[in-house]
Amino acid sequence: MIEVWYAIVVMMLTAYVVLDGFDFGAGALHLFVARDDRERRQVLAAIGPYWDGNEVWLLAAGGALFVGFPRVLASGISGFYFAIFLLLWCIILRGAAIEFRSHVNDPIWRASWDFFFWLASGLLPLFLGAALGNLLRGVPLDGDGWFALALFTDFSARGAVGILDWYTVFVGVFALTALMAHGALFLAWKTDGPVHVRSRAMGGRLYAAVAVLWPLLTVATQRVDAGFLSRLGSRPLAWLLALGALTGLMGVFAGLARHRLLGAFLASSAFLVGLSAATAACVFPTMLRATGGEALSLTAYSGGSDPQGLATALGWFAVGFPLAILYLVIVFRLHRGKAVAADGKGY
């Protein structure tokens, strides 16, 4: 049952990366692919039906952690307290920017909210990537399973580490690049005109950068976690998922070359799913890795709930999850076709 709930948490987080990821990418790119007010409203129209629903997957992942691994959640929230507040502030700022920009028909008002939308959308992948980097590198857990981190120390990934160092920043930059590429392909699929042309070109360039950064990040991860590649090679599920990510990456370039933009976006989604799930398969059962040694780490088994409670929760999950998928299918079905900038105040 522990393994099932670990898979559920990974699935929820991966869904958040893929779905809210294209929102982040579109926001981080919109000042570059959209040059005037109408084009920027076209970008907002592309993500408008989806962005607030996509954020729910983060809440779902938090709920799954609360149910399945309460000790891990408690330790992580206390240790990353400041970082979590930074994340929440950016989420709030991003939502406010989307909703408020068209309330006043004034160029300065709209330009200001466009800037905040761009800023928050770019910072969120950086913060989430840095958080993943901390989990892969490890945190200074004590014997009771608690830790505290400074924002940064000497920027090395060893010894007295902070939230930010060369490795966690590298993971953040990779996450930002990958999600910007993902968002560019979504915009290329959902828009037409100049926004479509610029997004398609930007998607190709950004995915070329992803193709370069991915192996470099793998080597860097091996440096901070000496057993990472050996676990990847010894776990068939992990390397099959990594192969799926590689197939998705090649599918992106094939889709762009053949002008099949929905195919390219789906291949981008497959890349993110494969990469996220392969990473989770490599680190299992560790959920909070301790820099002081594996004996101090919090694992799925040491931080999990009792099997009876997990079995009961799984019954409710079996009811709620299909409803969430049905909602997702209906929303994409209702808003099929190209996004058109609405006249007037709305996006």
- Please indicate, yes or no, if residue 100 is contained in any of the structural domains: yes
pLDDT of residue 11: 96
- Please indicate, yes or no, if residue 339 is contained in any of the structural domains: no
- Backbone φ and ψ of 160, nearest 5°: -80, 90
- Please indicate, yes or no, if residue 209 is contained in any of the structural domains: yes
pLDDT of residue 342: 65
* Number of structural domains the chain divides into: 1
Separation CA 268–CA 274 (nearest Å): 10
Separation CA 70–CA 68 (nearest Å): 6
Whole-angstrom CA distances from 282 to 62, 198, 232 are 21, 37, 6
- Please indicate, yes or no, if residue 141 is contained in any of the structural domains: yes
Separation CA 125–CA 211 (nearest Å): 18
Query: Is-contact 203 188, C-beta < 8 A?
Result: yes
Low-confidence ranges of the chain (pLDDT < 70): 342-347
- Please indicate, yes or no, if residue 346 is contained in any of the structural domains: no
Separation CA 119–CA 114 (nearest Å): 9
| Helix locations, 34-80, DSSP H | 37-47, 51-68, 70-79
Query: Is-contact 131 79, C-beta < 8 A?
Result: no
pLDDT of residue 314: 92
| Residue range 50-65, pLDDT digits in tens | 999 999 999 999 999 9
Separation CA 312–CA 12 (nearest Å): 19
Burial zone of 231 (CB within 10 Å; 0-12 exposed, 13-18 middle, 19+ buried): middle
Separation CA 65–CA 94 (nearest Å): 25
What's the alpha-carbon Rg for the chain, to the nearest Å? 20
List 288's β-bridge partners, or say none. Answer: 298
Range of the domain at 84: 2-334
The model carries a pTM of: 0.94
